[in-house]
Amino acid sequence: MWNPADYFGAGQLFVAILGFGIAIWQLVRTADATVESTRLLGARLLANDLLVLLPELEALEDAVHSAVKSEDADKVGIALAKYARRAQRVHGHLTSSPVYEGVVLVGLINESVEACRDAKQKLYDKPKVNIIPTVRAARQSIDKVVLEAASFSATLQKGTESGNNRRKRWFGSRRSDQ
C-alpha cells in the first residue's frame, strides 16, 4: 500500500525524468542552432570577402588598360598576371560554396584567366610584338568579367541589406509588443 511519501517520491521521479527529457531536447535544439549559425556565418564571411574582392577586379582591369596604353610588354605582362591571380582567388571563393553553384561569373573568370595566360605567353614569345592585338581577347574577356562582377556584387550587397532590414524589423516588432 502506498502512503503519501511514496506518491510524493513518484511525483519527484516523474518531474526529474521530465526535466532531463526537456534538458536533452534543448541541448539537441542548441546543437542544431549552432550548426546552422556556423553555416550562415561562413556564408556571410564568404560574401563579405567577395564584396571586397570583386571591386578590386575593376582596378586591375584599369591597370591592364593603362599598361597596354604604355605599350610596355613587361608592364602588360605584370598587369595580366596580377589580374589572373586575383580573378583565380575570386573563382576559388565562388567554387568553395554550393551557394554560388552555377554563377555565370565562374565561367567568365575561367575564360578570362585562360585568355590572360595566352596573351602573356604571346607577349614573351617574340622579342618585339604588337601589344594591342596580342592582348585584345584578354581585355575583352576581362571587360566581361568586370561587368558581371559589378552586377554580382550589387546582388550580394542587396542580399546583405535585406538581411539587415529583416533583422531590424523583427526586433522592432518584438519591442513594440512589450
Distances (CA, A) of 159 to 34, 52, 55: 22, 15, 17
Return all residues near 67 (Cβ < 8 A) that are at least 6 apart.
75, 76, 78, 79
Per-residue confidence band for 61, with pLDDT thresholds at 50, 70 and 90: very high
Q: Is residue 164 part of a domain?
A: no
Cα-to-chain-centroid distance, residue 141? 22
Q: Is residue 95 part of a domain?
A: yes
Q: What is the mean pLDDT of residues 13-37?
A: 94
Q: Is residue 103 part of a domain?
A: yes
Q: Over 50: is that where the pLDDT of 168 sits?
A: no
Q: Over 50: is that where the pLDDT of 169 sits?
A: no
Question: Is 108 or 3 the better-scoring residue by pLDDT?
Answer: 108
Q: Is residue 38 part of a domain?
A: no
Q: What is the mean pLDDT of residues 147-152?
A: 92
* pLDDT (0 to 100) of residue 171: 41
Q: Over 60: is that where the pLDDT of 164 sits?
A: no
Q: How far apart are CA 37 and CA 148, in angstroms?
A: 30
Per-residue confidence band for 6, with pLDDT thresholds at 50, 70 and 90: confident
Q: Is residue 42 part of a domain?
A: no
Q: Over 80: is that where the pLDDT of 3 sits?
A: yes
Q: Is residue 68 part of a domain?
A: yes
Task: For residue range 66-83, list pLDDT tens digits in order.
Answer: 999 998 999 999 999 999
- Percentage of the chain exceeding pLDDT 70: 89
Which range of residues forms the domain containing residue 65?
Answer: 47-157
| Cell 596573351 found at | 119
CATH number of the domain bearing residue 99: 1.20.120
* pLDDT (0 to 100) of residue 2: 82
Domain count, the chain: 1
pTM: 0.72
Return all residues near 58 (Cβ < 8 A) that are at least 6 apart.
146, 149, 150
Q: Is residue 33 part of a domain?
A: no
Q: Over 60: is that where the pLDDT of 21 sits?
A: yes
Q: Is residue 52 part of a domain?
A: yes
